[in-house]
Structure 1
């Protein structure tokens, strides 16, 4: 069955959805995006994703294309019309279509706004949560404004493919001797009961799931340190995990061939995954 997608104010079958070849998202990666998870037909952390969208747009001198309430209604309609029980809603906003020029087009150029769904039955029951991920490390060669959730995703895509070529599941990126983040997730280690994750800054994405997980960890009386950590420190950790909107909390069991702990998902990662899913379902819209 063809999906219904949203393109510039219209809900249309995906085969009829088109965007101009002159769109700046296509020509310059001049756009931002968000991905919101859906469980049992409801959106997780929608307010956080909407706020981050507004921030990303502001950093690129672009306005919000619609109010948060209107955006929520578009999400809900797509979820309903496509019968999404478990899955994702992808949103992309670009500066719009204009003749190719490095200079921004006039302020009144209509933005391009696209949303579509992906059905992922059993999203919260990913088998990888029981076995854990194997991670390799790569140099972080991205631009320096990773806090803006832009559509510039070529290097993360290359990183995932490099990891798979080495028989791993994903990659963590390293800059100046310390881990920044994963290709599409925030990275954490656990040592002697303390959760360690990179502090916020321009070097990493300000993860919506990250914020929720750290809040839940502190509410559960877990110790958290926000600071950089090295690959060697990660390999010596008791356990590790990543967080993202689609993976929630996902344990890591190996880094560059070094097994963590006993090579199985650790207790803190497993507990945080349970807490995150339980609490997020309660506030889902």
Structure 2
């Protein structure tokens, strides 16, 4: 009986020890072992939805938790949000914080970002901090806070827009708008009729294009013929030129023959004709002076000097 009790006791102790070891292991592996350093976020804005143990993220990555939220005793109205951040997080002198919200749950968290990282410049120096000298980071207004601040301005602009719309849809403006709509409708109908009118011409466009392509091809071939020294056109022109040159040579030869052979004969005939005309003219004058000379011959010629019967005057 004593052995059974001792075995049962040892089994109980072993079971309890195993359970404690399992719980410790679960706690150890589930807990974050990163070294956290404190930072104070300074803001004068509201921090609705933000509470202790809220997440702290650097550009979307979890880097810490919110430890506490309290008023700054030195500056009235200023709020200090103490956060614990992983010491390996790239917190620099240009890092700033904003209040963001997770989805539609409204649970707030702190979003850290860096001005230099946004502008793509050289990284700023690391911001040192410790439990005795906690570094401070400025907390800027988030999207919803900016929207809340600009709500009055947006409402005013919305009222102005609504007034403008009301004025635009007054009776006179509505009438003008309806006239414009009717004009647009009429123009659309005119365009539709025009489209129907030019539809036959559009159907003929492929044939016209084909004819134009054929004409261009013929023109291209003609250009190639004109540009080719051995082309038909240039050969024909060369043959015609040679024929014209031969004809010109023939005309020149004929002109030379006329000038050398025919013209002298024509000139001789012209001289003979002139002599004949002078003879006929003398005969006519003689007939006019002495018609008897036709029957009895002309009077004897008067002897000249040295001839018999010459008598000086």
> TM > 0.5 between the two?
no
- Structure 1 or 2: more helix by fraction: 2
Structure 2 length normalisation: TM-score? Answer: 0.17
Higher relative contact order (Cα pairs below 8 Å, separated by 6+ residues): 1
Pick the structure with greater CA Rg: 2
TM normalised by structure 1 equals 0.18
Structure richer in strand, relative to its length = 1
